[in-house]
Amino acid sequence: MRNVVPILTVVCTLLVIWYAAAVWLNAPWAYNKAERAGIELNFADLVSDTWSQDKPKLPAPHQVGAEIWKTTGEMVLNGRGFSKRSLIYHSWVTFSATALGFLLGTGLGIALAIGIVYNRTMDMSVMPWVIASQTIPILAIAPMIIVVLNAVGISGLLPKAMISMYLSFFPVVVGMVKGLRSPAPMQLDQMRTWSATPAQTFWRLRLPSSMPYLFASLKIGMAASLVGAIVGELPTGAVAGLGARLLAGSYYGQTIQIWSALIMAATLAAILVGLIGVLQRITLKRMGMA
Amino acid sequence: MTDETVISAKDLSLTFQTNDGPVHALKDVTLDVRKGDFVSFIGPSGCGKTTFLRCMADLEHPTGGTITVNGVSPEEARKSRAYGYVFQAAGLYPWRTIGGNIRMPLEIMGYAKAEQDQRVARVLELVDLAGFEKKFPWQLSGGMQQRASIARALSFDADILLMDEPFGALDEIVRDHLNEQLLSLWDRTDKTICFVTHSIPEAVYLSTKIVVMSPRPGRITDVIESPLPRERPLDIRDTPEFIEIAHRVRDGLRAGYGDAI
Ligand SMILES: Nc1ncnc2c1ncn2[C@@H]1O[C@H](COP(=O)(O)OP(=O)(O)OP(=O)(O)O)[C@@H](O)[C@H]1O
Ligand SMILES: [Mg+2]
């Protein structure tokens, strides 16, 4: 557990900066209130006020922590862990879109990569489009995807997942093309001397060689999926999901709610990427490559 | 031993078209290899040894002349899995154990599971690696990895073994040891071996036939039939016959370098 000390140091530093920033950013409102009430603020008053405002510019960490606890742990204790007001419920909604989009994106990415590696025409023609697709701002294309899919009668989870997929297939294509091409010419010659079929060469050489590349891409793809799912919740006026919480929070100036949704999103991302890391370690270990 | 010809090249040429103009890797190479021969190819860098071997293996396509392997085209020979090829680097797959690596060609060729197990065990025995089946390549020394890659080439029991500087990266002692093992393996199995090397003693020690090549264009300058007996202890290298052949090889190599040295 040699990691604990450096990690704690970083976390403490961040908290200190955060608390200081909260004082600094929320001070004008605190002075404003004091002026109207006709009282002088000493430093202790100032600090305690800036750390406990209702709608602060920047909520203090403990306020966000309390809000998160109120909408997760406490609701679980009350047996309402999955009610529509609970962050667990909203995280779950976002997670399901993320997971579906991630699976679709990974599938699409691998399929495209195989096409690009095995088909000369695709090699020459697909990659520019793949890159072009990522230069369009997702915020511009997300509403269109949702409107179009709605028009053909698809709504709910799938449109959000499509946006996730749109973001997550890209790193997978790029990584897998590189991975599937990573066997050395000698290894390919070796397969040829055994007169292996293309399918055998794929399953026994190209695919295993690409695993380290795949996992690196999956981590990026997973994070991108989550962003996609949240972005997908913004323009739809969705009522559920972390994106919806962000949007609702910003409508009503509920900065504490925004921040707790943000922290939840970050935690979710960390967990999902961490899961892929575990999967990576297990797989590569079993392959003798780690 | 029969006099059956296994590999026959006639006026074989191969010209690579490169940006700096054509490179004549092989020009009018004619050579017959009989069944059971141990043929060494020796010559300065760039004289086309690898290219010649790759032509036999159908990894390269000649631009002129003809070559047959087992009486058929290299492509047919490759498809009928007539040869095992050992590359310069061991080229084991890092995600497979030693056993798994040796199993790879067997899986590809569709051997039954039980037969695979049996063959893996047998070739591991043959190259002195019994007990290392479950180890991963990185757990083995360079020499052991090279032996594993030889075992892999042997596993499907092809009659021809093509080896491109298999011991190039190993130290003298390990090399001697592997040379001895390779000789005894050749003696026991009656395979035909084509072996590329840069070392004169290695070539003389191992071969029944030494092919001396020279570059630009790549061609054969001398073919030496070795008078040494099949049975060769390591100290045969101190005998006058051995030294005489080594001299002849050296002279052939010198001639190949021309006025360059
Ligand atoms: N794929 C290729 N494209 C172009 N030129 C090539 C190619 N392969 C080999 N050559 C050239 O053909 C010539 C013979 O190469 P080859 O690899 O057969 O030499 P070699 O005798 O094996 O040399 P070394 O002892 O260094 O391995 C060299 O001049 C090399 O540059
Ligand atoms: Mg070579």
Q: B118 and B210 share a domain?
A: no
Residue B87 lies in a domain: no
Name the one residue in this structure whose structure tokens are 């509920």. A254
Regions of chain A where pLDDT drops below 70:
1, 236-238, 290
Residue in A195, A204, A287 nearest the CB of B104: A204
Which residue range forms the structural domain that includes residue B167? 5-82+160-260
Q: Which of residues 200-219 of A touch B (CB under 8 A)?
A: 200, 204-205, 208, 211
Give the end of a domain, one of B118, B135, B157.
Answer: B157
C-beta atoms of A191 and B89 within 8 A: no
Q: B76 and B174 share a domain?
A: yes
> What local confidence, expressed as pLDDT, does residue B1 receive?
44
Q: B170 and B245 share a domain?
A: yes
Of residues A101, A110, A120, the one with CA closest to residue A222: A101
Q: In what order do the strands lie in the sheet with B5-18?
A: B21-34, B5-18, B64-69
**Mean of pLDDT values over B118-143:** 89
Mutation target for B interface from A188, A189, A194, A201: give the one with most B CBs within 10 A: A194
Structurally, how many domains does chain B consist of? 2
Give pLDDT tens digits for B195-214: 999 889 899 999 999 999 98
A141-166 burial: b if 16+ Cβ within 10 Å, else e: ebeebbeebeeeeeeebebbbbbbbb
End-to-end Cα, chain B, rounded Å: 42
Residue B44 lies in a domain: yes
> What local confidence, expressed as pLDDT, does residue B192 receive?
92
Dihedral sign (CA B95, B98, B100, B106): positive
Altogether, the residues listed in chain B come to a count of 261
- For ligand 1, say whether the CB of B256 is within 6 Å of any of its atoms: no
Q: B62 and B16 share a domain?
A: yes
Residue B180 lies in a domain: yes
Q: B164 and B65 share a domain?
A: yes
Of residues A178, A177, A171, A186, the one with CA closest to residue A223: A171
- For ligand 1, say whether the CB of B257 is within 6 Å of any of its atoms: no
CA atoms within 13 Å, Cβ hemisphere of B216: 8
Give the end of a domain, one of B157, B181, B204.
Answer: B157
CA-to-CA separations, A228 to A158, A167, B72, in angstroms, rounded:
12, 6, 59
Of residues A90, A97, A130, A108, the one with CA closest to residue A242: A90
Residue B64 pLDDT > 60, yes or no?
yes
Can you say whether residue A92 is alpha, beta or left, with left for phi > 0 and alpha for psi between -120 and 50 degrees? alpha
> What local confidence, expressed as pLDDT, does residue A194 receive?
93
Q: B171 and B76 share a domain?
A: yes
> What local confidence, expressed as pLDDT, does residue B193 receive?
93
The SS3 assignment for B233 reads coil
The distance of Cα B49 from the centroid of its chain, to the nearest Å, equals 10
**Mean of pLDDT values over B223-232:** 85
3-state SS, one letter per residue, for A17-78:
HHHHHHHHHHHHHHHHHHHHHCCCCCHHHHHHHHCCCCCCCCCCHHHHHHHHHHHCHHHHHC
How far apart are alpha carbons B148 and B154 in whole angstroms? 10
Of residues B79, B77, B125, the one with CA closest to residue B99: B125
How far apart are alpha carbons A229 and A268 in whole angstroms? 12
Q: B67 and B175 share a domain?
A: yes
- Structure tokens of B247? 């001299």
> What local confidence, expressed as pLDDT, does residue A85 receive?
79
With vertex at residue B42, the alpha carbon angle to CA B36 and CA B46, rounded to the nearest 5 degrees, is 130
Of residues B65, B89, B70, the one with CA closest to residue B80: B70
> What local confidence, expressed as pLDDT, does residue A238 receive?
67
Of residues B61, B59, B58, the one with CA closest to residue B69: B58
Closest protein CA for atom 7 of ligand 1: B16
Residue % of chain B over a pLDDT of 70? 97
ipTM of the modeled complex: 0.86
Give pLDDT tens digits for A169-179: 999 999 999 99
Give the end of a domain, one of B131, B157, B183.
Answer: B157
> What local confidence, expressed as pLDDT, does residue B257 receive?
67
Q: B103 and B217 share a domain?
A: no
Q: B34 and B97 share a domain?
A: no
The SS3 assignment for B21 reads strand
Q: Is A54 exposed, middle or buried (0-12, 13-18, 19+ CB in 10 A)?
A: exposed
C-beta atoms of B95 and A289 within 8 A: yes
Dihedral sign (CA B210, B214, B215, B219): negative
Closest protein CA for atom 18 of ligand 1: B48
CA-to-CA separations, B59 to A188, A193, A194, B160, in angstroms, rounded:
10, 8, 11, 15
C-beta atoms of B59 and A208 within 8 A: no
Residue B220 lies in a domain: yes
- Interval between CA A247 and ligand 1 midpoint (Å): 65
Of residues B90, B79, B77, B24, the one with CA closest to residue B52: B24
CATH code of residue B249: 3.40.50.300
Give pLDDT tens digits for A187-210: 999 999 999 999 999 999 999 999
Can you say whether residue A251 is alpha, beta or left, with left for phi > 0 and alpha for psi between -120 and 50 degrees? alpha
The distance of Cα B172 from the centroid of its chain, to the nearest Å, equals 18
Q: Is the separation of the CB atoms in A257 and A248 below 8 Å?
A: yes
**Mean of pLDDT values over B85-101:** 89
Mutation target for B interface from A193, A197, A205, A287: give the one with most B CBs within 10 A: A193
Q: Is the separation of the CB atoms in A142 and A232 below 8 Å?
A: yes
How far apart are alpha carbons B117 and A8 in whole angstroms? 52
Q: B164 and B244 share a domain?
A: yes
> What local confidence, expressed as pLDDT, does residue A32 receive?
86
Q: Say if B145 is an interface residue toward chain A (CB within 8 Å).
A: no
Name the one residue in this structure whose structure tokens are 């007169």. A195
Structure-model confidence comparison of residues B98 and A53, the more confident one? B98
For B71-138, give the DSSP string: TB-HHHHHHTT-EEEE-SS----TTS-HHHHHHHHHHHTT--HHHHHHHHHHHHHHTT-TT-TTS-GG
User: Which helix (H) or strand (E) is B219 found in, with range?
Assistant: strand B219-225
How far apart are alpha carbons A226 and A61 in whole angstroms? 23
**Mean of pLDDT values over B231-241:** 85
> What local confidence, expressed as pLDDT, does residue A290 receive?
62
**Mean of pLDDT values over B185-192:** 87
For A220-261, give the DSSP string: HHHHHHHHHHHHHHTTTT-SSSHHHHHHHHHHTT-HHHHHHH
Residue in A186, A196, A200 nearest the CB of B87: A186
C-beta atoms of B93 and A205 within 8 A: yes
- The bound ligand whose nearest atom lies closest to the alpha carbon of B52 is 1
Q: B19 and B117 share a domain?
A: no
Residue B147 lies in a domain: yes
- Interval between CA B72 and ligand 2 midpoint (Å): 25
Taking residue B104's Cβ as centre, other Cβ atoms within 10 Å add up to: 22
Model confidence at B260, in pLDDT bands (50, 70, 90)?
Answer: low
Altogether, the residues listed in chain A come to a count of 290
Give bridge partners of residue B24 from the DSSP assignment. Answer: B15
- Structure tokens of B13? 């040429």
Q: B166 and B75 share a domain?
A: yes
- Interval between CA A4 and ligand 1 midpoint (Å): 55
